[in-house]
Structure 1
């Protein structure tokens, strides 16, 4: 946690690779890991703000397709792998960027064209595996949340786990530069 009681959160250790000298939490991948790890940190009441930094897949097409080179602030969170309707979570933290997106969360690495189209039909431009859990926990604990994601891939059939493993280190450096310029 930083001096101003801001908790910086990453899902995967490689996303945090450029933040070795910055206090942060790595929750683990997926909604359950995200929820359990973040709840353990929030239950003490010492955290005043949560800032999530990480990667996400782009699900939009055409004019809706976001750039892989831009950091986006997530202003809406939905679930894509839950069969019952779930409310959209709007993170309570201040919106700092003009570049915003809605992000869908589910417990799978999306790399299927049909699945990507379904997620886009929910109104999402990005997809990850933890965001909704972070949003639900921060709402429950009444802690402001800001989520900043840099796209790593287009969440389609050309995406492989191995490519993400290579790309994530460059994306971590991009997030570090963003953090230094906009959040520190």
Structure 2
């Protein structure tokens, strides 16, 4: 059995309620809710894989619209005891999933301004979200393989929150189409 994970129900709006071979988990937005919900699910169930689907802001102008498979995750909103941004005091700086093509930066705030985008890009982020790092860390603690697919919903610039609300349904349809293709292969 696989676990299909999203932060918000709206990110799964195009998905059927039942997909053979998958159980479904909606964690809620942000790192703490994501950590709590995924830890509970993995502690109570036996899964061959976690597949995370959801939306992300593109903070690199060279990122194309569509779905991106995440390779590396890091937290942009942490600072270590030496004052280095993007480095946690006790957590790994970066985690690698190994099969993707994009680095995503995770933080507890919805990114909606150019200054924050520049700061995150300086750390190496190309996409931004609020849960990917935590999903990856939790799955790795349980020894469960994880894949993360993110559909670009906005450019994380001024007005991104309104853009996200308008495009989340279309992103969900893209993600469901991608999963259907994999299921049919």
TM-score after normalising by structure 2 = 0.87
1:106 aligns with 2:112: no
Against the structure 1 CA distance between its residues 166 and 56, is the aligned structure 2 distance closer, same or farther, given a 3 Å change threshold? same
Measure the CA separation in 2 of the matches of 1:40 and 1:114: 36
Aligned residue among 82, 92, 97 for 1:91: 97
Residue 174 of structure 1 aligns with which residue? 174
* Number of residue pairs the alignment of both structures matches: 170
Residue 26 of structure 2 aligns with which residue? 26
Residue 40 of structure 1 aligns with which residue? 40
CA deviation vs aligned residue, 1:31-59 (integer Å, no higher than 9, x gap): 00100000000013511210000100001
Cα distance, 1:139 vs. partner?
Answer: 1.1
Residue 154 of structure 1 aligns with which residue? 155
Against the structure 1 CA distance between its residues 175 and 35, is the aligned structure 2 distance closer, same or farther, given a 3 Å change threshold? same
- After the TM superposition, list the runs of 4 or more consecutive aligned residues in structure 1 that deviate by more than 3 angstroms: none
Cα distance, 1:158 vs. partner?
Answer: 3.5
1:143 aligns with 2:149: no
TM-score after normalising by structure 1 = 0.87
Alpha carbons 2:153, 2:163 under 8 Å: kept: no
CA deviation vs aligned residue, 1:61-83 (integer Å, no higher than 9, x gap): 3xxx2112x21100000000011
Measure the CA separation in 2 of the matches of 1:44 and 1:13: 21
Stretches of structure 2 lacking an aligned partner (at least 5 in a row): 81-86
Residue 66 of structure 1 aligns with which residue? 63
Stretches of structure 1 lacking an aligned partner (at least 5 in a row): none
Measure the CA separation in 1 of the matches of 2:173 and 2:45: 30
Measure the CA separation in 2 of the matches of 1:138 and 1:122: 24
CA deviation vs aligned residue, 1:109-156 (integer Å, no higher than 9, x gap): 101101001111111110000001101101111110100101000001
Cα distance, 1:165 vs. partner?
Answer: 1.5
